[in-house]
Amino acid sequence: MKVDSGDSWGRTPLCWAAINNHEAVVQMLFETGQADVDARGLDGRTPLSWAAAGGHAGVVQLLLEIDQGQAVDVDARDLDDRTPLSWAMESGQDLVVRLLLGTKRVDVNSRDYAGRTPLSWAAECGNPKFVQLLLDTGRVHVDSGDAEDQTPLSWAAMYGKAAVVRLLLETGKVDVGSKDSDRQTPLSLATENGHEAVV
């Protein structure tokens, strides 16, 4: 039997095991020696992408540790150019973020289809812990603008994430007067949305 056969979504049994957080099944599939750890569905997502988005730390760790002659692609991009780290940042998966960053192989500045980086997602979600983890890598581009010229500071200001705004300002590397494609600054975004603490 072919254990790596894809269904109508292009998802393999390993992909489904990762989606549904079935660690024992993931291990069993690995032991066959036939499971492609980087198999992509029609949406371009890998088992690691799904496990990262779901916060399935045990599955993520298994996928990162598997040795099939080559390491798992930690930066595998889906059709929206999102990476596992990008998904983990948006969905607030603490342990998964730490596992991915711990590989020292992830591109902390990867951009998705909209030009957004993991820091941009972390800033919008308002998770200061994730922002700090990214800053601690010493490799993150703090003031990187997306396709609409919105920086992580813009996103944090727009959504009233004062703790994140403070962290970004403390780096001394952000342009507080940066303007997005609508010529709005982080300050104007914060005032428009009534975020007094950010203002």
Q: Would you place residue 59 in the very low, low, confident or very high pLDDT band (cuts 50, 70, 90)?
A: very high
Distances from the Cα of 91 to the Cα of 1, 137, 139, 187, angstroms: 36, 20, 22, 26
pTM: 0.86
What is the distance between the alpha carbons of residues 168 and 175, in angstroms, rounded to a whole number?
Answer: 10
Strand, helix or coil for residue 15: helix
Answer yes or no: CATH 3.40.50.300 is held by domain 9-107: no
Intrachain domains 9-107 and 108-199 with the same fold: yes
What is the distance between the alpha carbons of residues 123 and 159, in angstroms, rounded to a whole number?
Answer: 9
Contact between 4 and 12 under an 8 Å Cβ cutoff? The reply is yes
Q: What are the tens digits of pLDDT across the range 121-152?
A: 999 989 899 999 999 999 999 999 999 999 99
What is the distance between the alpha carbons of residues 58 and 144, in angstroms, rounded to a whole number?
Answer: 32
Domain ranges of the chain: 9-107, 108-199
Answer yes or no: CATH 1.25.40.20 is held by domain 108-199: yes
